[in-house]
Chains A and B, each alone.
Chain A
């Protein structure tokens, strides 16, 4: 996952091709001002969070108006999936994956609401409204008190219960069959 791992690929293309490794000169410079409306991602460390602030109380009204019809009055789920509950259920026969029981980062909630919600009007909420709705959903999961509010500093600090629940890909993870698959030569035509 290092830059160096990808470097041979980049270099080989530059060296093997008829062109030097210099840029081809295609495209126009993209300044941060011109791309601001698209540059909306938020990382777990808070990079990308906009200025603004929103409270659980403000979020309650917004949630009722914009979210509850699909996600249920208390985030229990309706036509769309549940946002709250399920804590401690992941190892059970009926795991319930919600923001509270499953999501490892509160920043992901802000990022997703900002880019994709509400379903009928994506990217229509202001930063303050996005903080407020995020705060309310975290409150529904018991992760924020009713009087709390969130901003760019406090949101990344919300402790998510399943923060350490994720592991790396261990595959291949299934032992080969016994007796092993036959080494018979196959025939092949082109």
Chain B
């Protein structure tokens, strides 16, 4: 009964919207187009988007070296929480290796009872889990250099979300038998920089050795044939093209965890092992580069996420933070996963400033840029999760605002 009532309420509000769109009714009678008058094509072996759909990744910055680059996800054109595999953001430091999966091996050794070398066939034999998680580069959203013509792809494109399938790392560590005193692992890739990061055991909750993404084997740029996947933590830790795990009793202090992926503070000290990606949100519609063609109803849509459990709520402001309204969370609301939010809005045709502010189940609230910069300055490069907004001009154009 309650469902029926709410459905009728919805139907009523849609009828209201119909009055508004009536003003735009087509002047010409509809014709029967050619695609209705002839037989269509057959399906390709591996399907592609419609030729009318032109979403694509691109490098956020012109790479100083070919092979050391990152490409950003077109969040402004995506729907739902899952990122299509061909549009998932990627970062590589020494190109994308062309790995023969039959020759690839995962070596697990160090402080273990039974050091092992595993083929991909071996790894697929282990019990398999599938989990939905976001992955965000800790360099997502630059601290400096914002431009009014930024799109959400420019500002936030180093985040994506997928279903990852593979072996729980804890299962593999049980297989090799961790020795007392062990506290860290070193994860190493097979790419041309043999990318390495040290990770303490207490950051390994939910860690997966992933070989599949959204139902198919990893794409080469996502670490084919095997990657580490660490939910909720900075993307660089999820070592791609994973070839080796060494168990140790202390961090290995690799280049990526000392000279990179550390956060320089205004006093010159440097925060190290800053793993978790804190709560953050972004409005994807309307967003930079888009255009509101007419006043009236527009749904404000966006994405929120946190590396600490679930998103608890998202507030949206249309007046630059003077007032806030609670957005609707479009489920599922999963831990360490993108969560969609939306809010009905009527644009009256004047200037507006749209902001979103996420909070997570730990009580943490996404900070303003002002509050974040007051603590960390602007030279820490990584982990910028500040509130971010869009400015709507009276002509309907949308630009970066905060």
List the one stretch of B76-84, B214-222, B273-281 in contact with chain A. Answer: B273-281
Q: Which chain B residues border A112 with CB–CB below 8 Å?
A: 254-255
Q: Is B128 an interface residue (CB 8 A)?
A: no
What number of A-B contacts does a CB cutoff of 8 Å give? 231
- Secondary structure type dominating chain A contacts: loop
Separation of A130 and B253 alpha carbons in the complex (Å): 18
Establish whether residues B365 and A108, one from each chain, have CB atoms under 8 Å apart when the complex forms: no
Establish whether residues B115 and A21, one from each chain, have CB atoms under 8 Å apart when the complex forms: no
List the one stretch of B25-33, B44-52, B53-61, B257-265 in contact with chain A. Answer: B257-265
Q: Is B101 an interface residue (CB 8 A)?
A: no
Q: Is B168 an interface residue (CB 8 A)?
A: yes
Establish whether residues B268 and A90, one from each chain, have CB atoms under 8 Å apart when the complex forms: yes
Q: Is B178 an interface residue (CB 8 A)?
A: yes
Separation of A182 and B192 alpha carbons in the complex (Å): 49
Q: Interface size class for chain B?
A: 35 or more
> Closest A-chain residue to B357, C-beta based?
A181
> Closest B-chain residue to A188, C-beta based?
B329
Q: Which chain A residues border B266 with CB–CB below 8 Å?
A: 91
Q: Is A145 an interface residue (CB 8 A)?
A: no
A13 with B168: in contact, given A29-B114, A30-B109, A189-B330 (CB under 8 Å)?
A: yes
Q: Is B90 an interface residue (CB 8 A)?
A: no
B123 to chain A, nearest CB (A): 8
Establish whether residues A27 and B193, one from each chain, have CB atoms under 8 Å apart when the complex forms: no
B264-291 contact mask (Cβ, 8 Å, vs A): 1 or 0: 1011111111111010000000000000
B69 to chain A, nearest CB (A): 13
Of the candidates B183, B243, B248, B268, the one having the most CB atoms from chain A within 10 angstroms of its own CB is: B268
Separation of A186 and B341 alpha carbons in the complex (Å): 10
B3 to chain A, nearest CB (A): 12
List the one stretch of A54-62, A133-141, A162-170 in contact with chain B. Answer: A162-170
Establish whether residues A6 and B116, one from each chain, have CB atoms under 8 Å apart when the complex forms: no
Of the candidates B173, B248, B258, B368, the one having the most CB atoms from chain A within 10 angstroms of its own CB is: B258
Establish whether residues A13 and B171, one from each chain, have CB atoms under 8 Å apart when the complex forms: yes
List the one stretch of B15-23, B145-153, B369-377 in contact with chain A. Answer: B369-377
Tell which of B107, B252, B272, B324 touches A30, judged by Cβ atoms closer than 8 Å.
Answer: B107
Tell which of B117, B122, B173, B376 touches A35, judged by Cβ atoms closer than 8 Å.
Answer: B117
> Closest A-chain residue to B199, C-beta based?
A1
Separation of A189 and B339 alpha carbons in the complex (Å): 11
Q: Which chain A residues border B379 with CB–CB below 8 Å?
A: 95
Q: Is B326 an interface residue (CB 8 A)?
A: yes
Separation of A162 and B258 alpha carbons in the complex (Å): 11
Q: Which chain A residues border B87 with CB–CB below 8 Å?
A: none
Separation of A17 and B64 alpha carbons in the complex (Å): 50
Q: Is B246 an interface residue (CB 8 A)?
A: yes
Establish whether residues B174 and A21, one from each chain, have CB atoms under 8 Å apart when the complex forms: yes
Q: Which chain A residues border B122 with CB–CB below 8 Å?
A: 26-27
Tell which of B119, B250, B253 touches A107, judged by Cβ atoms closer than 8 Å.
Answer: B253
Establish whether residues B326 and A182, one from each chain, have CB atoms under 8 Å apart when the complex forms: yes
Q: Which chain B residues border A44 with CB–CB below 8 Å?
A: 253
Q: Which chain A residues border B108 with CB–CB below 8 Å?
A: 30
Q: Is B201 an interface residue (CB 8 A)?
A: yes
Establish whether residues A116 and B94, one from each chain, have CB atoms under 8 Å apart when the complex forms: yes
Q: A27-B116, A181-B357, A181-B359 are in contact. List 11 more A-B contacts (CB 8 A).
A: A6-B204, A27-B175, A28-B116, A41-B252, A43-B253, A97-B264, A115-B193, A171-B383, A174-B372, A176-B364, A188-B333
- A sample of 24 inter-chain contacts (CB < 8 A) reads A1-B200, A3-B178, A3-B183, A5-B202, A9-B204, A10-B174, A17-B127, A23-B174, A35-B109, A38-B244, A44-B253, A97-B264, A112-B254, A115-B196, A166-B258, A166-B269, A166-B272, A167-B269, A167-B270, A167-B272, A177-B365, A181-B315, A182-B324, A187-B326
Binding site for B on A (CB under 8 A): 1-3, 5-6, 9-10, 13-14, 17, 21, 23-24, 26-32, 34-35, 38-44, 79-80, 90-91, 95, 97, 99, 102-105, 107-108, 111-112, 115-116, 119, 122-123, 162, 165-177, 180-182, 184-190
Which 8 interchain pairs have the tightest Cβ spacing? A91-B268, A190-B331, A6-B201, A90-B268, A116-B193, A27-B116, A115-B194, A112-B255
